Structures are given as structure tokens and as C-alpha cells.
Amino acid sequence: MTHAILDTLGLASHDRVVEPASTADTITSVNPATGEPIAGVKLDSKADLERVLAESVEAFDRWRWVPAPQRGEVVRAIGDELRKYRDPLGELVSLEMGKIRAEGIGEIQEIVDIADFAVGLSRQLHGITMPSERSNHMMKEQWLPLGPIGVITAFNFPAAVWGWNGMLAAVAGDVTIWKPSLLTPLTAIACNSIAERVASAMGHKGVFQLVIGNDEEVSVPLTNDRRVPLISATGSCRMGREVGKAVAARLGKCLLELGGNNAVIIEPDADLDLATKNVFFGAVGTCGQRCTSTRRLIVHESVAEDVVGRLEKAYRSLLGGGKIGDPLAEGTLVGPLIGVPSVEAHEAAVKTAVEQGGTLVVGGSRLDPSKLASNGLKGGFYVEPAMVRMPAGKHLPIALEETFSPILYVTTYSTLDEAIALQNEVDQGLSSALFCGSVRSMGRFLDPGGTGSDCGLAYVNCGTSGAEIGGAFGGEKDTGGGRESGSDAWKAYMRRQTCTIHFGESFALAQGIRFE
């Protein structure tokens, strides 16, 4: 544990961080760029979870009494502290998860941004007033704190998703219990330590809790505990079904942000330079490990050869130009996959696509170490981003599945209605994009009647990746229906109460009922 990033963030001396080990009560964080261990982390047991749950209930009983604008001041201070440590925290994300340094820093900036958003929101948790049908009565709604919130996050955004949930939950008056991915525990320890340290220094201990453990010891008991009224879970559709079933059985609330099989449609009048740049980043950025990664390209038959040719040139430049490698090195555009299973899944999906009738245009294999941006790298989980042509107007069966790696499946269409039907054909409904020059095409894609894109995110002339915190983030169908981050997503972390006040003297019932 000699890495400078750990020293900068105080992790080298943290009581949860130990030397890498293979004991049952520790997990080892591995650097996917090298395959080498970074540090060991102590795992929590069921007894540890019970302690955290009890502390969370007590902290909530104190925190809920703090006026919302004062809760906002705590979040403001947390955001300021995260600003101070933005770069080393972002580098830790890159070290532990594998996304390039600019994206790692950008992820911490997302937490800073949502903290700023939450500070303003702390003075805007508005209810509404409504007219009563009875004389001398008034009606209003108010929003109240919900309780301890369970937040289960995935490895691909090991910090930002906690921030989206935690900052909004805090101003809402809730306590957050964070259960991070076991692939990225160091990032969770660093971020949560900063938030809890700041809150405790301001007199509010226990608002930000952390549990790190396996499913049997931590995830399942947390999901089933009635003291946790809301579980916000990010991960695979399979995981979301399990969480949703368990929470529904106890009539709790779920906020699910699950898989995405996202498509870009390119119309013949689109700006092809703009479109191909967005598709390229969406397909290969974060080595295809974003839930919003571009996985399918649906391009008009009249411009398909031009678009594919542009993309093939970009892919070959990436593969031959030393732009894949150490995510912390300057000039690297694509880092590694998270681990060996992801590499194997990538190769298997490409092989299956060819067996099903697809044509491999470029990439698809494990990356030759000689092509890495940093020749000094040993090990690591690197692959060649792949592009596969499908038959015109249809999907290969494998393209209907979400492989969490950089594979772009390409097909063609003749009418926009056909393209939208192809886009909507998959089970997931997270992100979608249309590149066009026509307001009519835009209107068809964003049809207010709901016959256009069926996704929670719909973009025109920008790619499927890169959501801003001002808008609610999430999707439909197998993506889970949850919404995090901006807009009115704060309502998920509160409970609504309708209040009716009678200030007269006469007995009156609604609906004109007489009972005299």
C-alpha cells in the first residue's frame, strides 16, 4: 500500500484498509490496468450491519429535526471538501475501476455538482395547496423525511451514483447506508469518510454510513430490513429483479437503475462528423462499461457506408495509435475492463455475433500488450473495441443482450419509423439518441404521445452518454423505472402527506354526504 493516491486520501492508515489478503473477512481491491492488488479491505458481517442499522435509526431521529436549509449547509460543506480532493479522488476511481483520469475526475465533479443542486433544493422542498370542496376547510401537501436509505452501487460509477443519492437524501432529512461494489471498495471508503467527517464536525454524526460485505452477510439482510424504507440499487437487470422482489415483499420502496442497451439513430440529413464522434465516444468510452454506452447503431441505408467507414478509421486509429492503456497516463483514451470475466464475455459475445451471421469490421480480441499506450504495463484486462455489422433492418440475437464491454452492433434502415421500432425492440429502456437535421424527425423521435423513443433519456444531436445532473436520470422497462439526480427526483427520498384543516364550526363531509 505505497501508492501516493492512498497516502493523499489518508487510506493507507484507514482502519478498514489492510494489506492484500485472501482471508474470509477481507476483500482485495485490484488495479484492472495491471491486474495487481492495490490494498485489502475488511468486510462487514451481519453483526456489523446490525450495528450500522441501529446507528442509522438513531442518527435519522436526530437529523430529521434539523431544518432543511441547515441540512443544505452541511451538504454545501461536503461539496466544498470534495472540491478540495477532486483530483486525487478521481485518480482513485481510475486506479480502482479503470476509467481514464479525465472521466474519473469528472465523476467526482458530478458529486460536487449534485451537492450544489441539493443545497438550492434544501430551500425548495415545496408542497402545494389545494382548494377544498367544503367551506371553512383548507388542504395542502407536505413532504417529510423518509428514513434510513439503502444505496447499492455498481463498480462502473463507484462514486457518482452514491453522490446522486446521498446528497439528495441528506437535504431530504434521510440517512444514507451505502453498500458499494466489492470491486471498488477503496473509492467508497474515501468518499464516505469525507462526507461523514464533515457532517460529524458540524454536529451531525452518523448521517453517512458505509457497509462493505458480500450478499449473504450484507446485501440481502439490508434489502429485507423494514427499518430501511427505500432501497436505491444500481446494477444488472438480474440483480434488480432480486432486489425489487425482496423490497416489494415487505411493501418497501425501490429506486432501480439497471441495464441499458442503448441505440443511436442517424438520419440521412444528420451532421455525420458530429454523429460519428458521439457514437465513437459512446461505444468505446469507459471501455463500454457505462450503463449509457452506445451498443447499437441504426443508420440510414443511404449514409451507412460513409458512417461505418468513418468509424472504422477511428477504431483503427485507436487500436494502432497507442491510445489504449494505463488510465492514469496522459493521452490514454480507453482503459481496461474491470476483470477477467469481462474480457471473456467480450470475446464470447463477438464470437457469437459472427456465428449468428454478423460481420466483424474491426477489433474484438484481447489486446496485444505491444499495442498498449504504456509499454511498461504488465497484465491488465485490455480488449480491442469491436464493431460488428448486422443484416439490414434486423438485430442479431446477441445484440438484444447487454454485454458490458465495447461492442458496437450496426444495422441499417429505410424509414424513421423502422429505426424507432428497432431501437425500442430491446428489453431495456435507458438511453437513446437521434442525429438529424429535420425538426420533423426530431418531433417523431420525441413524440409527446409516447410513440417515439421508449427510453428514460432521449437525446437529439448528442450521444447516449454524458447525462447532466440537472435532469432526472433513469430508464423504463427492464432498466427499472427509477430516477436519480436532478429534476424532482428528490421526491423518491421523502414521503408525501396530505393535510386537511377545518377552521370552522359546522360538521361537513366531502362528496356532499349528509350524516345527521
pLDDT digits (tens, 9 = 90+) for 319-330: 987 899 999 999
pLDDT at 516 over 90: no
pLDDT band, very low/low/confident/very high, at 206 (cuts 50, 70, 90)? very high
Judged against a pLDDT cut of 90, whether residue 110 lies above it is answered with: yes
Q: Confidence band (pLDDT; 50, 70, 90) for 375? A: low
Residue 490 falls inside a structural domain: no
**Residue 216 CB neighbour total at 10 angstroms:** 9
Per-residue pLDDT band at 139 (split at 50, 70, 90): very high
Residues 156 and 13 in one domain: yes
Between the alpha carbon of residue 486 and those of residues 4, 103, 220, 468, the distances in Å are 34, 20, 28, 8
Of 362, 406, 361, 357, the C-alpha closest to 381 is 406
Is 291 annotated as catalytic? Answer: yes
Mean pLDDT, to the nearest integer, of 234-250?
A: 96
Model confidence band, residue 2 (pLDDT cutoffs 50, 70, 90): low
In a domain, 352, yes or no: yes
Interior/surface letters 2-34, b for 16+ CB within 10 angstroms, e for the rest: ebebbebbebeebebbbebeeeeebbbbbbbbb
Count of structural domains within the chain:
2
CATH number at residue 226: 3.40.605.10
Residue 453: pLDDT over 60:
yes
Do 429 and 455 meet the contact criterion of CB atoms below 8 Å apart?
yes
- Evaluate whether residue 313 is within a structural domain: yes
Q: Is 257 a catalytic residue?
A: yes
Same domain, 131 and 232: yes
**pTM of the full structure:** 0.96
Whether pLDDT at 373 is above 80: no
**Residue numbers of the domain that contains 412:** 262-468
Residue 260 has pLDDT above 70, yes or no: yes
Residue showing cell 382548494: 131
Q: What is the pLDDT of residues 277-292, one digit of tens each?
A: 999 999 999 999 999 9
**Is the residue at 142 inside a domain?**
yes
Does residue 1 have a pLDDT over 70?
no
Q: Do 254 and 283 reside in the same domain of the chain? A: no
Rg (CA), the chain: 25
314 lies in the same domain as 369: yes
pLDDT at 3: 81
Any domain includes 294: yes
> In this structure, are 327 and 360 located in the same domain?
yes
Which one is catalytic: 291, 384, 436, 484? 291
Given a cut of 90, whether residue 21 has pLDDT beyond it is no
Q: Which residue among 257, 267, 384, 402 is the active-site one?
A: 257
Cα separation, 393 vs 412, in Å, equals 5
pLDDT value, residue 441: 98
